[in-house]
């Protein structure tokens, strides 16, 4: 949602929170897609809760040239790195051995309006 107080997508009451960009690639073995699909609904349920709780800003699947899901990216907001790490270690794509190459970057969403 647009925040008139600071001009970025997010909740103005959460300005002190840290943002993280996650880029996660699935395994490349023959069972990688099957593992993803086996826990996808559980992963999406968790995503919907993250968004409802104000932690999920945006996210989606990374696709190969044929449109096959090969990973994910997400932009998230948490009070601190420990809270983020707790979410990550419990995500079904982690516990279900879907994501095998995960990169996390501290991030700051750019303003969407000029102050």
- Residue 41 counted as domain residue: yes
How many whole angstroms separate alpha carbon 85 and alpha carbon 80? 9
- Residue 84 counted as domain residue: yes
- Residue 59 counted as domain residue: yes
Give the model confidence (pLDDT) of 41-77 as tens digits.
999 999 999 999 999 999 999 999 999 999 999 999 9
- Residue 48 counted as domain residue: yes
Q: pTM for the full model?
A: 0.82
CB-count burial class (<10 Å; 0-12, 13-18, 19+) for 96: middle
Q: Is 67 helix (H, G, I), strand (E, B) or coil?
A: coil
Q: Is 66 helix (H, G, I), strand (E, B) or coil?
A: coil
Give the model confidence (pLDDT) of 8-38 as tens digits.
455 544 457 999 999 999 999 999 999 999 9
- Residue 112 counted as domain residue: no
Q: Provide the residue range defining the domain that includes 80.
A: 16-107
Q: Check residues 49 and 5 and name the one with the higher pLDDT.
A: 49
Q: Which helix (H) or strand (E) holds 56?
A: strand 56-63
- Residue 5 counted as domain residue: no
């Amino acid at each position: 949602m647009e925040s008139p107080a600071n001009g970025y997508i997010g909740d103005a009451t959460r300005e002190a929170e840290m943002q993280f960009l996650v880029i996660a690639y699935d395994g490349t073995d023959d069972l990688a897609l099957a593992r993803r699909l086996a826990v996808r609904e559980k992963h999406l349920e968790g995503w919907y809760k993250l968004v409802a709780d104000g932690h999920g800003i945006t996210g989606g699947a990374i696709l190969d040239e044929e449109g096959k899901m090969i990973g994910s990216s997400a932009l998230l907001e948490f009070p601190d790195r420990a809270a983020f790490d707790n979410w990550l270690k419990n995500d079904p794509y982690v516990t279900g051995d879907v994501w095998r190459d995960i990169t996390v970057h501290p991030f700051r969403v750019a303003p969407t309006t000029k102050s």
